[in-house]
Amino acid sequence: MTGRNLPITAPHFDETEFRLLAECFESGWVTQGPMTERFEAMVAQRQGARRALATTSATAALHLSVASLGIGPGDEVVVPAFTWITSANCAEYVGARAVFADVSLETYNLDPAAFEAAITPRTKAVVVVHLFGLAAEMDELMAIARQHELAVIEDAACGIGTTYEGVPVGAIGDLGCFSFHPRKVVTTGEGGIVTTNSEELAHRVNILRNHGSTGPPDPTVEPHGPWTMPTFGELGFNLRFSDIQAAVGIAQMSKLDVLLDERRGLAEAYTELLAGLDGIRTPTVGPIAGHNYQSYVVRVLEGGRSLRNLIMGRMAEDGIQTRPGTHAVHRLGYYSTKYGLRPDDFPNAAQCEDTTITLPLFPGMEDADQERVVGIFKQTLTGALSV
C-alpha cells in the first residue's frame, strides 16, 4: 500500500450537527416533531416541491409513493433495469409487477424508447431513477407518461441538489423520493423523504407513514377531550422520521451548496486526469451544474467483467475502496426466478453492471488521493490492454 485507505465516500460532520443535536435533546421532543417539520421545509424549498414528508428510508419513500397512488395486484410499474433493487421492489411490495426497461449506455438512466415499449394496458406508473446524481431525460419521459396517463415517481435517492435543465428533480413528476443514507451527499444516517406538489398525494403519504391514522373521531359522536384517540381508517405503516435524524439533516442541508461545489470540483479533476485514456467512458454530465456527483462512475469499454474486476482488485490491494455502479436488477434471483428473466434480456443494463466502477469521492479528498486512484487505474488498464 502506498498511501492512506481511501473510502468510496464519507459523510462530513462538524460542530453544526452537534449543536442541533443538543438543541433537539434539550427540547425533549425527539421524534416526528418541530425538527422534522423544519427539515421537511428545507428539502421542499430546495427541490421546488410544495410538500416534503420525511420517512425512515428512501425505500420507505418509494413504498409509500406507490401505495399512495392506489397501485396494487394486477397493475404494472415500469422500472429501469439498471438501478438499486428497491426501485423495483416498491412495486412488488403492493402486489404489483415491476416491468423492466433498458437504460442508456451514456447516462445509465431509463431509455425513453425502451420505456415506451414496456408500457401495456396494465401499466399504472413509471419509476424514473436519477442514477448516480445525474437527472434522467425528463422532457421525453414525462411526455410519454402523460400520453399514456401514467403516474411518474422520481427515484431521486441519489439526487439531492440535482437539477434538470435548471429545475430541481423530485417535483417534476408526481412524487419524488430521496435518500439520506451515508453514501449520499446529505446524510441523516438512514432516512428518506417524499416530495410532491399534490396536496392529495401528500395527505395519503402522511396517513400511510403514520400507521394509517386518519385523524380524530367525529366530535358529534363524542366531544373531544383528554380521552380522544386518533382513528385508523386505513392499514398503514410506521415509517416516520425522528427529530434526532432531522437535526442532523438540517445541519447537512445548510451545507449542501458547499458539499456540492466540492463534489463537482473533484469530479472535474477526475475527468481531467482520465482525459485521453482509451478504453473508458467518464460520466456524461450535461450542464455541469445539474449533476451532483453522488457517485463518480466510469465504464470500461473493453475486456468486460474480467478487466473491470482486475482494476477493482488492484485498487483494493492498495487500500482504495471501489464498487460496481449498481445492479442489473433483472439478473437478481427474486426477479429472474419469478418472471423467467434471462441475463441478456436487457443488454445495456447487463453491460453497465459488468463494466462500471465507482471511484472514491468524498469530502476532504486531496489532489494526491485522486492522482493515486487514477495512476493505478491507468496502469492496470493499459497493462491489460497491451497484452
Domains of the chain plus CATH, in order, are 15-254 (3.40.640.10), 257-385 (3.90.1150.10)
Helix (H/G/I), strand (E/B), else coil: 163: strand
pLDDT per residue as tens digits for the range 277-303: 999 999 987 655 699 999 999 999 999
Q: Which helix (H) or strand (E) holds 217?
A: none
Nearest Cα to Cα of residue 353 among 371, 374, 329: 329
CA distances from 191 to 56, 98, 148 (A): 4, 24, 32
Helices (H) then strands (E): counts for the chain:
13, 14
- pLDDT tier at 227, thresholds 50, 70, 90: confident
Whether pLDDT at 387 is above 90: no
Mean pLDDT for the chain overall: 96
pLDDT per residue as tens digits for the range 176-221: 999 999 999 999 999 999 999 999 999 999 999 999 999 888 888 8
- pLDDT tier at 40, thresholds 50, 70, 90: very high
Helix (H/G/I), strand (E/B), else coil: 82: strand
pLDDT per residue as tens digits for the range 248-262: 999 999 999 999 999
Whether pLDDT at 2 is above 80: no
Nearest Cα to Cα of residue 248 among 196, 293, 187: 187
Q: What percent of the chain has pLDDT over 70?
A: 98
- Cα(293)–Cα(160) distance, rounded to whole angstroms? 10
pLDDT at residue number 284: 87
pLDDT at residue number 368: 97
- pLDDT tier at 125, thresholds 50, 70, 90: very high
Q: Which three cell numbers stand for residue 312?
A: 477493482
Cβ neighbours of residue 58 under 8 Å, at least 6 residues apart? 86, 155, 157, 177, 178, 179, 180, 181, 192
- Cα(369)–Cα(375) distance, rounded to whole angstroms? 10
pLDDT at residue number 279: 92
Neighbours of 366 (CB within 10 A): 12
- Cα(375)–Cα(3) distance, rounded to whole angstroms? 13
Neighbours of 330 (CB within 10 A): 24
Q: Are 54 and 302 in contact (CB under 8 A)?
A: no
- Cα(86)–Cα(93) distance, rounded to whole angstroms? 10
pLDDT at residue number 222: 85
Helix (H/G/I), strand (E/B), else coil: 136: coil
CA distances from 121 to 66, 92, 161 (A): 18, 18, 35
pLDDT at residue number 3: 78
Nearest Cα to Cα of residue 116 among 108, 107, 128: 128
* DSSP annotation of 301: -
Question: Which long-range contacts link 343-346 to residues 24+ away (Cβ below 8 Å)?
Answer: 345/81, 345/100, 346/81, 346/82, 346/100, 346/101, 346/102, 346/103
pLDDT at residue number 69: 98
Helix (H/G/I), strand (E/B), else coil: 152: strand
Whether pLDDT at 158 is above 70: yes
Nearest Cα to Cα of residue 299 among 348, 356, 344, 244: 356
